[in-house]
Amino acid sequence: MVKMISIVVMILIVCSCLNILAKEKVPFLLLDKAPHAYFSEKEVSLVWVKQSNFPKKYSSLEIRLVYAGRTIKMKRIASGDPIEFKFKLAGLKEGIVAKTKISLSILDEDDQQLRTMTETIYLFASTMSSEYQARLKKINVGVYAEKDGDIKMFLEASGIPFQKVDEISDFKGKWLLVAGIDFEDMEGFDKELLTLMDKGVSVLILATEMKGLFTIPDASGRLEFLGRDCIKRYEKLLNDLYWAKNKKMVKSKGLLKPLDDTVGIEFSSTNKGWSWIEYRKKKARLIFCGWDLLGTYQESPLASYFLLKVLTNKSK
């Protein structure tokens, strides 16, 4: 008989149809799959795509970057020209996340507004706050990876201190990050991670393209199958659309698989399953992250910021 494990299934339905997205969020223009957050010190270039219901006749467009009620930059674009807007917001203090507005107005020949749209854009300071730096030092993050180049560069760019772990059984920190592994090629690795959880260590597995079966023999924990909607669990300002332009966000997914006397999670790179899975037991968490955080952190700060929120989250 399969042991009873508490399973909470939340399915996020992300609408990829441009017509529906344009109708609900952007009535006449659509940002071209752009992230909604950027590094403040780097120049940002936003490009808009016209929709079918865009006014046929207009004289010009006026685009403004507004922060704290002040217009930081303004640009006029004549009818027929490419709709592109470049900007940056230098000088933010450490740990600051600036909530800015991009306002785009369509003007007629008399400079009267025909329509106006706004987009919220978050600009992140390049350095995290000293408060988070102090908290991360206490957490003691470890990294276990067969090829640690990508995750090492990711953590260094994110300002997250870590130590390389060769034997996970010897690790005594609070969080172990695992990357570049396949369960089908590492027999018994799932048992090692569960043993580590029993010692109070939380584990975050960062996917490239996970494959294989992870067995969960213990019925005392809580297993949750989640989609990208769980992003809001850790930080409300993060959205679930584009974290990097024209890149596939989800790299792997997992499905619940009943076994003879327990259950398991079967991973693959197909479109079936859930991209974020959490197993909670006492004070420890085991998280399977199927998102491409390692491939998006250079373009947008969202991957680094999200990882920071997960590592410092105190929810049980």
The 10s digit of each residue's pLDDT in 12-40 is 222 223 232 333 333 445 565 566 788 88
Q: Both 49 and 120 in a single domain?
A: yes
What is the residue range of 235's domain? 6-15+129-312
**48-62 average pLDDT score:** 76
CATH code of residue 147? 3.40.50
Kindly report, residue by residue over 79-93, the tens digit of the pLDDT.
Answer: 888 888 998 888 888
Residue 71 inside a domain? The answer is: yes
**Of 79, 104, 124, which closes a domain?**
124
Q: Both 76 and 115 in a single domain?
A: yes
Q: Both 100 and 58 in a single domain?
A: yes
Higher pLDDT, 12 or 63: 63
pLDDT at residue 65 in the model: 93
Q: Both 164 and 280 in a single domain?
A: yes
pLDDT at residue 174 in the model: 92
Question: Which range (6-15, 34-43, 261-270) has the least confidence?
Answer: 6-15
**175-185 average pLDDT score:** 83
Q: Give yes or no for residue 2 having a pLDDT over 60.
A: no
Q: Give yes or no for residue 216 having a pLDDT over 50.
A: yes
CB within 8 A of 191, min separation 6: which ones?
Answer: 215
Q: Both 72 and 109 in a single domain?
A: yes
3-state secondary structure of 11: coil
> How many whole angstroms separate alpha carbon 70 and alpha carbon 162?
40
**pTM for the model:** 0.76
Higher pLDDT, 201 or 267: 201
CATH code of residue 57? 2.60.40.2550
Residue with tokens 């172990």: 176
Q: Give yes or no for residue 7 having a pLDDT over 80.
A: no
Residue 302 inside a domain? The answer is: yes
**Of 80, 96, 124, which closes a domain?**
124
